Chains A and B, each alone.
Chain A
Amino acid sequence: MSTLLAITVFLPLLGALILFSTPGLDRRTARQLALMITLGTLALTLILTLAFDPARSGPQFAAVDDPSAPAPAPNDSSHPAYGYRWLDTGPGSGIRFALGLDGLSLVLFALTALLMVPSVFASWNSIDDRPALHYALMLLLETGLLGLFAALDVILFYVFFEFTLIPLFFLIGLYGGPERRRASVTFFLYTLAGSLLTLLGVIALVLVHQQFSPNHTLTFSIPELTAGLRSLPWSEWSAQATSSWTSPQALIFLLLFAGFAIKVPIFPFHTWLPLAHVEAPTAGSILLAGVLLKVGGYGFLRFNLAMTPHGAAFFVPLLATLSVLGILHGALTALAQSDVKRLVAYSSVSHMGFVTLGLFTLSQVGLEAATIQMINHGLTTGALFACIGILYERYHTRDMAQLGGLWSRLPLFAFFLILACLGSAAVPGLNGFVGEFPILLAQFARDPVYAILASLGMILGAYYLLMMIRRLLFGPLREPSDHSSPSPNHTPALDHHHHHHDHQPTSSSIPPLGWHEIAGLVPLMIGIVAIGLFPQPIFDRISPSLREIATGFANPSLSTPSSTALTSPTPPPALSRPSTTTSQTPSSITLAVQDPRR
């Protein structure tokens, strides 16, 4: 199965290489090739999802370098050396090319593969210029995202993390709207600036682990680092009541935070997002909102919460405040937009505020709900951007002041848009509810004030979404005049007709939804309804991996891990780690004087 995972990750890359090497390919062939690769990747992902064992925690489908090593016992949370040696760093397992999926990565991996389908369909007719390059960049982005979620090595993760910037930079910069250059450069520099700090944080984690772990192992493996840092015998590190922001965990937390906070984006680091969204082509918007923002949430879970739990606990009041501010600010700003794409972009800020609010409850309920909220946001926002793409292709405007009453023109479109909006507004029975409601519930149990303020976002969220529906779909039909009436000399035959607005001269020039538009939206709609009614399969898969993370908070005193066994089905890492005989007094060690390679 490990081979299958690698094939899944790199199949889009293969497609991208083919498309890169045939730049003159016509639109029809290019999009069909891209669709085939995308569907193939989705099918392989489906196989992986079905083969995934939800009862197990820890990564699955991971190659193990040394086949002679005994398979880990089910209760053993020590991790073998996954994957293959990639860069040698002296003793230890080195930087490895290691791929694997646990429940958390699996759902985001599957979301990526799924959202590629509407992305390809959204580009179906809208991309005329250099289509091969466009699809090649999309497939390149897919490999980057799949690899990022599957990476089990911090350096590999970081490579994929930065790698995703490049195709998106070109997608926006080459295929975007009038301000595409400014948008792509802003997007690139802003996220790069943050992620360089994150790289520092990651390196700091590796070094801290090497310095203070009993064996001084230099490891880049994410599972090993997580387990090792959790039980690090360094009192400065493990001090449960991190009292100042200058403590090591808090500082490293801030470094890691920088990149992920910009990716999510957490208020007030969000201003690149509306610009990038408005300028990006539809496929870029779907992937940007649907998956790329989730990279931030995923990073928080994998690094900030799993590896620096005390740092996270220290900053919770600040982070929850920023999340609430993001929810309210995003919703209010969305309310003031008349460009419908900008509206949805700001709604992303608001909805991702709910995600981070759930993450920073630091509770199992909050983490599970935040994770499923990431999936939900991917589906609903992907659907909304696809809908906006459909509109833009027909009317070449996204200004709600110029559009209205489209229900009578595009009834199926109206159905899709209303369903996506209701899902986004967290109406029970649809997907948004199963994320938003438990997030607020967990937050209320932690501190009611934040939950009460955030619940105002529920009202504002419904307000801007319904306002969008009302302006776009309700009322008498209104279409941009330059586009919809090619004959300014109004047909006199229509003047005496009572229902003249029902008989626009252009009723034939606005086509109903094409098969590719329906095919792009239907999977998302199925997801919106299915998750709303039956979210449990997802919760079952993510809860073991999240429980490993949440145990870091459930029991703050890491020195007595036995009490976590009550709440955790798997013993905490500290119990099962091979303990060395002579563990040094951690306080006597400083980074400067200790040679790790004794």
Chain B
Amino acid sequence: MVDNAWLVPALPLLGALITAIFGKTLGRHAHWPVVLGIASSFVVSLALAGSLGTPAFGHSHEDPHPTTTAADPHHDSPTTTIVYHWLRLGNPIPQPDGSPRPELQIPIELRVDGLTILMLSMVTFVATLVALFASGYMKGDPAYPRFFAEVGLFVFCMTGLVLSNNYVLTYAFWEGVGVCSYLLIGFWYRKPSAAAAAQKAFLVNRVGDVGFALAIFWMWAVSPGHDLSYTALLSPQTVEHLQIHAPAALVGIPLLLFWAATAKSAQVPLYVWLPDAMEGPTPVSALIHAATMVTAGVYLIARSAVLVFAEPLVPAIIAATGALTALLAAFFALTQFDLKRILAYSTISQLGFMFMALGCGVGDVMTLAVTAAMFHLFTHAFFKALLFLGSGSVMHAMGHVIDIRRFGGLRHRMPITAATFAIGGLALAGIFPLAGFWSKDEILLALRSAAAASSGSYAWLYQAIFATALATAFLTAFYTGRAFFLTFCGPERLPSPSDPEADPEEHHHDHSHDPHFGHESPPSMTMPLIVLAASTILVGLAFGPLTGWFADLVSRTPTWSALTPPEHPHHGFNPLAPEVLLGTLVGVAGLVLAWAFYGRPSQLPDRLANSLRPLHSASFHKLWVDELYTALFVQPTRFLAALARFLDVYFIDGLVRLVAWIPRVVGRDLIAPLQNGLVQLYAALTAVGLLALLLLAFWPR
């Protein structure tokens, strides 16, 4: 079965190629090859999950040691398959088994284990729904086929990324999803803002990618046998080898990987591209910039957990960065008026939660840390995709107006969108029993356990991060409530058709039959909303601590076999645990406060904003980080470029011209005057020359 793993990326790619080539012929049906390709790839992913086999779901609830399966490599032997050899170069180096392999050997090798299956099923499930939604949302766009071809290409890259069994292949797909993101952000290429956002996204991600590349170079230099596969690198033997021979690499490599993750997963300091990426079509924001691609960084760190957790300094840095990002992004989200940007900052903030969880990888909290992070990644994908598609549905109905000051009270006109958005919002706020509640609870638990498992300043750090997480949860509930109440509650307001925000440039959609805004979206769009809302309600209950299914699934990841197993395995669900109570309390408090501020027209928000003017301004202008980066990085680069150009023309080429000038001057001013036609001078010179030669020949030695 594992040998068929290549089908998962191949089917969406095939769909993308068909759509790209026959798109014009297919016309309005151009989305079908891609939708079917992704959907069948979802089916294959589930079938692959079946091949994981033994202990069935639900078993671990009674199992006193749920992670022992991971600690036993024979129990779940790594199941990999080589599609073909991509790169083989360098001298052959002898292997223990006698068959030499080249110094740099990168096969297209796919791996199927618990972590992969989890990512694959999530990605293909959400992508299928988003593609269906987009078939309604993008209707009438002249570049309809191109959109779906690019989405298919993205799903190919994303599934390849999580299936890869070596770092170079992961890097390849990592950049591949970046290219797809670039193309899709810039999908409406006529819009200068979209063009700028696409370029910014690619470049910021390139800055991160360089870190990833350097991490790979470093791994290649220090790893035994120059082997870059997960099977070899993420083994206890390699970690031991590095602890003895290259201890610096065990800090440097994980930090470089995390640097890459801060770009792809939009963390401080490289998060700045994600809010701008909202210039892309909303289904793209839902799929790429909320549910899947931006979680690649979390996946990478979780996959490399064995290396990342080797030195306690590294997880501490990751947790602190995650906490800072979560708090900052939630703070920015408080005052934004662009519904999609609120959700974008919320995504950044939630990704921060995932990194907080990953940062708990100390002592016997390691398995809980990766489980909690991946669980939040999993639940977040559903409710954040739901929220984005909901905002897309609003945008569709409002003629592409997305400023929440320009509309309101839409719950009557758009009941399905309002209801599903409410479910997504409650999940984001972490309200029982929705998906977000369960995963946030796990993260808080992990943070408390990490504080207990560490000592000294690390313990204080994790306590502080726990407090930050609670504060962020409060802000999250508040801005989510604000967005929902402003959009769907209060008196009904609609943008006028001549609204300047309703950019005619964007009007590829056939609103021609519909001069008035504010109708519920067609079933092709509401159906995915309903399915995602149902998932948001169910996944937490079905997979969460109540059943232990999720922990059981991800524990079947052999690359985690070197993680310290928990001394007191935590399972089940304690509704009276302090983090559950605190988490729920701040969530409810945030929602109540939001209702008091925005539930009905009130002067409260303005008065508060006025009394906290500097704070409000800092949030509204996002701490001027974009301006700061422009001054710190973009402007100096441009200055250096201008300087290089100047030096090139006037200094380097000037030197060349100087050298070329010398023979001319010598010829004109020194040699030419000698050619004056005076025979006497010629004769004299000849005599002198002859004399010199004779002297040279007969000079006594």
- Residues on A close to B: CB < 8 A? 189-190, 268, 270-272, 329, 332-333, 335-337, 363-365, 368-369, 405, 407-408, 422, 427-429, 433-434, 437-438, 440-441, 444-445, 448, 451-452, 455-456, 458-460, 462-463, 466-467, 470, 473-477, 498-499, 533-536, 539, 543, 547, 550, 554, 566-569
Residues of B within 8 A of A550 (CB): 91
Give 18 CB contacts A-B under 8 Å. A271-B653, A335-B638, A405-B189, A428-B173, A433-B172, A433-B175, A448-B214, A458-B209, A470-B195, A470-B198, A474-B189, A475-B191, A475-B192, A533-B86, A536-B87, A539-B87, A539-B89, A569-B92
The contact of B190 among A462, A476, A566, by CB within 8 Å, is A476
Q: A408 and B179: CB pair below 8 A? A: no
Q: A444 and B214: CB pair below 8 A? A: yes
Give the docked Cα–Cα distance between A474 and B179 (Å). 16
Q: A445 and B220: CB pair below 8 A? A: yes
Give the docked Cα–Cα distance between A524 and B648 (Å). 31
Nearest neighbor of B189 in chain A, beta-carbon distance = A474
Q: B192 and A429: CB pair below 8 A? A: no
Give the docked Cα–Cα distance between A474 and B648 (Å). 30
Give the docked Cα–Cα distance between A334 and B169 (Å). 30
Residues of B within 8 A of A369 (CB): 89
* Interface check B679, CB cutoff 8 A: no
Give the docked Cα–Cα distance between A550 and B92 (Å). 13
Nearest neighbor of B205 in chain A, beta-carbon distance = A462
Give the docked Cα–Cα distance between A550 and B214 (Å). 25
* Interface check B90, CB cutoff 8 A: yes
The contact of B92 among A268, A433, A448, A567, by CB within 8 Å, is A567
Q: B648 and A498: CB pair below 8 A? A: no
Residues of A within 8 A of B655 (CB): 268
* Interface check B275, CB cutoff 8 A: no
* Interface check B216, CB cutoff 8 A: yes
Minimum CB–CB distance from A475 to chain B (whole Å) comes to 5
Minimum CB–CB distance from A549 to chain B (whole Å) comes to 12
Q: A437 and B168: CB pair below 8 A? A: yes
* Interface check B642, CB cutoff 8 A: yes
Q: B87 and A434: CB pair below 8 A? A: yes
- Residues on B close to A: CB < 8 A? 85-92, 94, 103-104, 168, 171-173, 175-176, 179, 182, 186, 189-192, 194-196, 198-199, 202-203, 206-207, 209-210, 213-214, 216-218, 220-221, 504, 637-638, 640-645, 647-648, 652-653, 655-656, 660
A364-B103, A475-B192 given. 12 additional CB < 8 A pairs? A333-B645, A333-B648, A335-B638, A405-B190, A407-B189, A434-B87, A440-B217, A451-B217, A459-B206, A460-B637, A474-B194, A476-B192
Residues of A within 8 A of B218 (CB): 444, 448
Nearest neighbor of B217 in chain A, beta-carbon distance = A444
Q: B91 and A547: CB pair below 8 A? A: yes
Interface centre among A441, A445, A458, A462 (most CB of B within 10 A): A441
Minimum CB–CB distance from A348 to chain B (whole Å) comes to 13
Q: A463 and B203: CB pair below 8 A? A: yes
Q: B91 and A567: CB pair below 8 A? A: yes
The contact of A475 among B189, B221, B640, by CB within 8 Å, is B189
Residues of B within 8 A of A547 (CB): 91
Q: A364 and B89: CB pair below 8 A? A: yes
Give the docked Cα–Cα distance between A433 and B647 (Å). 30
The contact of A438 among B89, B91, B186, B638, by CB within 8 Å, is B89
Nearest neighbor of B659 in chain A, beta-carbon distance = A193
The contact of B179 among A268, A272, A427, A566, by CB within 8 Å, is A427
Give the docked Cα–Cα distance between A225 and B176 (Å). 46
Residues of A within 8 A of B175 (CB): 427-428, 433
Residues of B within 8 A of A498 (CB): 504
Q: B216 and A441: CB pair below 8 A? A: yes
Q: A428 and B640: CB pair below 8 A? A: no
Given A368-B89, A405-B190: A438 and B644 within 8 A (CB)?
Answer: no
Q: A365 and B214: CB pair below 8 A? A: no
Q: A271 and B91: CB pair below 8 A? A: no
Give the docked Cα–Cα distance between A368 and B521 (Å). 56
Q: B644 and A474: CB pair below 8 A? A: no
Residues of A within 8 A of B194 (CB): 474
Residues of B within 8 A of A448 (CB): 214, 217-218, 221
Residues of A within 8 A of B213 (CB): 437, 440, 455, 458
Minimum CB–CB distance from A548 to chain B (whole Å) comes to 12
Q: B648 and A470: CB pair below 8 A? A: no
The 7 tightest CB contacts between A and B, nearest first, are A428-B172, A474-B195, A444-B217, A332-B644, A271-B653, A335-B641, A336-B645
Given A364-B103, A445-B217, A474-B192: A466 and B203 within 8 A (CB)?
Answer: yes
Residues of B within 8 A of A444 (CB): 214, 217-218, 220-221
| Chief secondary structure at chain B's binding surface | helix
Minimum CB–CB distance from B556 to chain A (whole Å) comes to 29
Q: A459 and B190: CB pair below 8 A? A: no
Nearest neighbor of B653 in chain A, beta-carbon distance = A271
Residues of A within 8 A of B656 (CB): 190, 271-272
Give the docked Cα–Cα distance between A407 and B191 (Å). 12
Q: A536 and B172: CB pair below 8 A? A: no
Give the docked Cα–Cα distance between A543 and B104 (Å). 13
Nearest neighbor of A334 in chain B, beta-carbon distance = B641
Q: A445 and B221: CB pair below 8 A? A: yes
The contact of A543 among B89, B641, B652, by CB within 8 Å, is B89
Q: A536 and B86: CB pair below 8 A? A: yes
Minimum CB–CB distance from A240 to chain B (whole Å) comes to 19
Nearest neighbor of B208 in chain A, beta-carbon distance = A459
Interface centre among B182, B195, B203 (most CB of A within 10 A): B195
Q: A455 and B88: CB pair below 8 A? A: no
Minimum CB–CB distance from A455 to chain B (whole Å) comes to 5
Q: A337 and B652: CB pair below 8 A? A: no
Q: A536 and B88: CB pair below 8 A? A: yes
Residues of A within 8 A of B88 (CB): 536, 539
Q: B217 and A441: CB pair below 8 A? A: yes
Residues of A within 8 A of B90 (CB): 363-365, 368
The contact of A408 among B190, B191, B643, by CB within 8 Å, is B190
Minimum CB–CB distance from B511 to chain A (whole Å) comes to 14
Minimum CB–CB distance from A77 to chain B (whole Å) comes to 17
Residues of B within 8 A of A407 (CB): 189
Residues of B within 8 A of A463 (CB): 203, 637
Residues of A within 8 A of B190 (CB): 405, 408, 474-477
Q: A438 and B104: CB pair below 8 A? A: yes
Nearest neighbor of A538 in chain B, beta-carbon distance = B89
Q: A459 and B203: CB pair below 8 A? A: yes
Given A336-B641, A458-B206: A470 and B199 within 8 A (CB)?
Answer: yes
Residues of A within 8 A of B638 (CB): 335-336
Give the docked Cα–Cα distance between A480 and B218 (Å). 49
Residues of A within 8 A of B206 (CB): 458-459, 462
Residues of A within 8 A of B171 (CB): 428
Minimum CB–CB distance from A223 to chain B (whole Å) comes to 21
Give the docked Cα–Cα distance between A448 and B248 (Å). 14
Q: A427 and B644: CB pair below 8 A? A: no
Minimum CB–CB distance from A341 to chain B (whole Å) comes to 15
Q: A474 and B176: CB pair below 8 A? A: no
Given A333-B644, A333-B648, A427-B176: A554 and B199 within 8 A (CB)?
Answer: no
Residues of A within 8 A of B209 (CB): 458
Q: A336 and B642: CB pair below 8 A? A: yes
Residues of A within 8 A of B641 (CB): 332-333, 335-336
The contact of A458 among B85, B89, B210, by CB within 8 Å, is B210
